[in-house]
A and B are shown apart, each in its own frame.
Chain A
Amino acid sequence: MQELKITGFPSPAAPWSEKPLDILDLLAPNPVSTFFMRLEEDVPQWALLEGDILIVDRSLEPRTGSLAVVVEDGSLALRVSACSGARRFFVLPDGKESSGIDIETWGSVRGVARLL
């Protein structure tokens, strides 16, 4: 859209003009490493619903307790990342440790988008 020009009085707000809020600044501060994915099932324990859009940032290091998309048995799965000492492991919605072997982090989930 074209910016509208003022023909009469110059705006007194001009010197204080700020960039409007952009939700992507919060959800995708690093656009080149941010990917959107679709959650395929409800996960009430994590307050997530089927169809939620996961905002996955590959540049964000997973921390203990954070949601991560992982590669498990060749597919993409949602897990909670956790540490005990130097060992990283991944937790299922029921709180148990995932039984998959050689799990690796695909990216950290920075946020979730849901249209109501």
Chain B
Amino acid sequence: MKFVLCDCNNFYASCERVFRPDLRERPVVVLSNNDGCIIARSAEVKALGVKMGSPYFRERARLEDAGAKVFSSNYSLYGDMSRRVMGTLQTLIPDVEVYSIDEAFLLLDSAPLRGGTIGELCRSIRRRVLQWTGIPVSLGVGPTKTLAKAANRIAKKDLSRGGVFEMPEGDGTDPFLAGIEVGDVWGVGFRYASMLKRSGIRTALDLKGADDEWIRRRMTLCGLRTVWELRGTVCHPFKACPDPAKSIRSSRSFGEPVVSLHHLRESVASFVERACETLRSQRSTAGCISVFIATSFHRDEPRYANAASRRLAGGSDLTPALVTAAMECLEDIYVPGFQYVKAGVLLRELNSDRIRQAGLFGGAETDRGVRLMEAVDRINNELGRGIISVAASARWKTHVWDMKHNFRSSCYTTRWEDLAGVHVADGGASPCRN
């Protein structure tokens, strides 16, 4: 049994290029929500030395000099292209675990090989995804997810491998693991990476050879699993469906700084509403809600950040109850006079028991609430999100805190008015766009 990690190359930038062939040779970057940071870079931009996550305003001059094309993130487009990539994978491999918007683990047993090698199969997957969707992908193969992920890294970095790399058997992995920094191993976060480096563990190979007991003490069982996976023992099995979330977070950076409590209330209410939709869709209740607000940490202005929580007796999934609790939290932490740029809510202590504890104690009032939420969810599912919403979120208004996306491309695959245009005139007559 083998795992394959299929990862889309520079996914967001690649999505933009599918419909803009004029950008194939040009550097392309995609910015985060509110056009703040760089979250996707084409190969040309990486070659310029522009770092992932760096603020756009700091790189702007350099990008302009290089003739780069800048996009705001267009998640309607990326979500649809992701669905197409994952759907294409499924036509070749039955077991696809979608890990993120641009990554999937594939489970290979001998069946789909039909006599060919794993390498040949991976190359045909790569060809088909590129042909059908226009998105280039890289594939890494290994006996565990962690090794497949490491193999994928090599497939991406070493262009001579044609986007596919298979980890050798047994200790044949060692020379390759020696070339991977410990911080780039799947599951090793930034903090653990610096701790490991201080202790002389610098590469994936060092980590593979680390002492089990030492790792377990310093990095808990999770860290030990990573080590075992590097040695070829499966600790993260293939998952057909996701684990239910342990917490639900809904937050956003504002398009413009927000000063008034009134505006913060509207934004927080809309976050609660979104989080509650997710909560109910996975049939859970939340036992605790937290609200946080923060000023910018880039600007030279007074800084402030704070959070507050409320318990929800017996757990709840009712939007009105959670909005009320969230508003109380917000009153606790709001201090006038600051320029807030971010706020959010976090639902915790999720209980996915279908038996509603509140139902036992809440009586008719809760029962009515549950039925109201069911009706609201059904209407919003059928007629579009936000058709019915709590008045506190004032969804019908355009808000100062709405997201900025000044360079967003068309939603080529999800809106009729946004379809890509096709011309007929002979060469060179192409309309020049920017």
Contact = CB atoms under 8 A, between A and B. Distances in A.
A93 B422 CA distance: 14
B426 A69 contact: no
Interface string B122-133: 000000000111
Nearest to B130: A58
Contacts of B131: 33, 58-59
A25 interface: no
A82 to B, nearest CB: 15
Range of interface residues on B (Cβ < 8 Å):
20 to 34
Given A37-B419, A58-B133, A74-B21, A99 B87 contact: no
A33 B427 contact: no
B413 to A, nearest CB: 7
B217 interface: no
B426 to A, nearest CB: 6
B242 interface: no
B176 interface: no
B74 to A, nearest CB: 16
B328 interface: no
B424 A75 contact: no
B133 A98 contact: no
Contact of A38 (B83, B84, B134, B419): B419
A32 interface: yes
B424 A32 contact: no
A71 B21 contact: yes
B424 A77 contact: yes
A74 B423 contact: no
A41 B423 contact: yes
B83 A32 contact: yes
A100 interface: yes
Nearest to A45: B424
B412 interface: yes
A106 B422 CA distance: 11
B93 to A, nearest CB: 14
Given A59-B132, A76-B421, A100 B84 contact: no
A36 interface: yes
A27 B398 CA distance: 39
B380 interface: no
Contact of B423 (A33, A40, A98, A101): A40
Residue among B423, B425, B426 facing the most chain A CB atoms (10 A cut-off) = B426
A49 B379 CA distance: 38
11 contacts: A32-B84, A32-B87, A32-B88, A33-B88, A35-B420, A38-B419, A39-B422, A75-B423, A77-B423, A99-B426, A100-B428
Interface of A: 30-33, 35-41, 43, 53-54, 58-59, 69, 71-78, 92-93, 96, 98-101, 106
Interface of B: 19, 21-22, 24, 83-84, 87-88, 91, 131-134, 412-413, 416, 419-428, 430-431
3 closest A-B pairs by beta carbon, nearest first, are: A74-B22, A75-B430, A100-B427
